[in-house]
């Protein structure tokens, strides 16, 4: 006489557990699985904003890089030696990159206001230069960006920029001193830059 209610309760419990399992699989829209299921071919995996500061004794060789800005001007990283260089990998096709742009501009303006020996440089990856230039104008970014439609410049970053966006802080010798994998806010970036500027 009690089998019917027991079966009903068991069935409801099973459905509830299945619902929890499905929710767990789709709860993180930035997970690789969720992005693959979306099928929108946005083509990036966003980092979690993890910050790494690299002690001077553990830094690798200086980064070498040459290229063209989105306006076609030639650029060589060697011209920045003696300054702290912030490299931000971005693309207008990447929502976290678009979201962090105001923070990057704010951090850049803060360094300029202090007359710090700092240069910011964007690396606009996997899109045409004209599209990147249009976003720069729209976002009001006043620091330059390299055009890296093929992604070849990313190979010069010693494996330290595995996600888009990524931000690297290079010391005065051109060595990677800190990095953020994923979006960065102005406060965090400002602190990282200030630490590297303060190095003797």
Q: For 78-118, how does the pLDDT look when each residue is reduced to its tens digit (9 = 90+)?
A: 999 999 999 999 999 999 999 999 999 999 999 999 999 99
Res. 188 pLDDT band, cuts 50 70 90: very high
Per-residue model confidence (pLDDT) at position 25 = 29
Give the least confident one: 36-45, 52-61, 87-96. 36-45
Per-residue model confidence (pLDDT) at position 42 = 42
C-alpha dist (Å) from residue 25 to 31, 33, 80, 163: 9, 8, 45, 22
Res. 40 pLDDT band, cuts 50 70 90: very low
CA distance 57 to 21: 46
pLDDT over threshold 50, residue 137: yes
Per-residue model confidence (pLDDT) at position 106 = 98
The domain 50-197 is placed in CATH, from the list 3.40.50.720, 3.40.30.10, 3.90.180.10, 3.40.47.10, at 3.40.30.10
CA distance 44 to 101: 17
Residue 110: alpha-carbon gap to chain centroid: 20
The answer to whether the pTM exceeds 0.85 is no
At 96, list the tokens. 């976290």
């Amino acid at each position: 006489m009690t089998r019917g209610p027991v079966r009903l309760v068991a069935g409801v419990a099973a459905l509830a557990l299945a619902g929890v399992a499905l929710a767990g699989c789709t709860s993180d829209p930035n997970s690789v699985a969720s992005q693959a299921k979306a099928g929108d071919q946005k083509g990036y995996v966003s980092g979690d904003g993890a910050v790494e500061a690299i002690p001077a004794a553990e830094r690798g060789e200086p980064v070498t890089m040459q290229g063209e800005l989105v306006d076609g001007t030639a650029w060589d990283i060697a011209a920045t030696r003696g300054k702290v260089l912030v490299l931000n990998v971005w693309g207008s096709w990447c929502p976290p990159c678009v979201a962090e742009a105001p923070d990057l501009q704010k951090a850049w303006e803060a360094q300029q206001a202090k007359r710090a020996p700092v240069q910011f440089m964007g690396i606009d990856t996997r899109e045409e230069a004209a599209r990147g230039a249009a976003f720069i104008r729209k976002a009001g970014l006043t620091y330059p960006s390299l055009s890296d439609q093929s992604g070849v410049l990313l190979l010069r970053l010693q494996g330290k920029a595995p996600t888009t966006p990524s931000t690297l802080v290079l010391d005065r010798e051109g060595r990677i001193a800190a990095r953020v994998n994923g979006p960065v806010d102005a406060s965090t970036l400002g602190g990282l830059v200030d630490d590297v500027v303060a190095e003797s």
